[in-house]
Structure 1
């Protein structure tokens, strides 16, 4: 879910930054409400979301505990300040949009935290899908 979120933001922000600025989400213009357009910064943000989406997707496909912990922690680190920024600047949008935006952002933080703590259920040093196409990592020698 987190990988899909990051890719859903990253693809349009990096490939069509002006359109993303004006349109996101669904024509509501949430990004445009935050200030003037800057193609360089919006494209760079899109690339960062793409990179995080790749890592989160990799963790979903090959759920090794250490990778899942790192990917989920990165998602929380990306989404928490994003949420806090929008909570502080809630007045830039109409109230319904502000509530929707902050609820969605809070949801991504909660999902990230759930993924982080859920990753501890994966046996250390092995894939959750070992024996089903997963990869077991070599054990350290004593």
Structure 2
């Protein structure tokens, strides 16, 4: 039986699918460009943090794609992957990721500090509601 998720759960899963796929595809398939130009639009958040390492950048891209895939499966097959599992996996990554960047904001221009905090905090805060979603198939 296919479980229908509420629109807010679908929206959050789609948000995480998109926000993880963009850096994932970029880092996995264009690691030099990701290192030099992420997040784009004339801003750089990666290259200020140390020397280029293609292996590390591609691994980060693959990790983002794994989170993308997890979000996609939960969105399309909610009976197979529960949204709460997605939330736990996202938070395991996003909390330490945010924490690291909060400790290293000094490397960025002020506008990039603000953007960095907003984007990474959203990844944490938007994952929290999914922790509390109980689908009808998980209620016993």
| Same fold, judged at TM 0.5 (above) | yes
Given that 1:11 and 1:46 are in contact with CA atoms closer than 8 Å, whether structure 2 keeps it comes out as: yes
Q: What TM-score comes out, normalization by structure 1 length?
A: 0.82
Q: Distance in 1 between matches of 2:62 and 2:79?
A: 25
Please name the residue that 1:25 is paired with.
39
1:3-28 CA distance string (max 9 Å, x none) = 11111110000000010111111131
In the alignment of these two chains, the number of paired residues is 125
1:99-120 CA distance string (max 9 Å, x none) = 1111110001011112222x22
What are the equivalent positions in structure 2 for 1:86-125 lying under 5 Å apart? 86-117=101-132, 119-120=133-134, 122-125=135-138
Please name the residue that 1:55 is paired with.
70
Unpaired runs of 5+ residues, structure 2, are: 1-14
Given that 1:14 and 1:46 are in contact with CA atoms closer than 8 Å, whether structure 2 keeps it comes out as: yes
Structure exhibiting the larger radius of gyration computed from Cα positions: 1
Deviates further, 80-89 or 20-29: 20-29
The RMSD of aligned alpha carbons is 1.8
1:107-136 CA distance string (max 9 Å, x none) = 01011112222x22x11348xxxxxxxxxx
Given that 1:66 and 1:125 are in contact with CA atoms closer than 8 Å, whether structure 2 keeps it comes out as: no
Given that 1:90 and 1:98 are in contact with CA atoms closer than 8 Å, whether structure 2 keeps it comes out as: yes
- Compute the displacement of 1:65 (Å): 8.3
Post-superposition, which runs of at least 4 consecutive aligned residues in structure 1 deviate over 4 A? none
Q: Distance in 2 between matches of 1:46 and 1:20?
A: 9
Q: What TM-score comes out, normalization by structure 2 length?
A: 0.83
Report which structure shows greater RCO (CA 8 Å, sep ≥6): 2
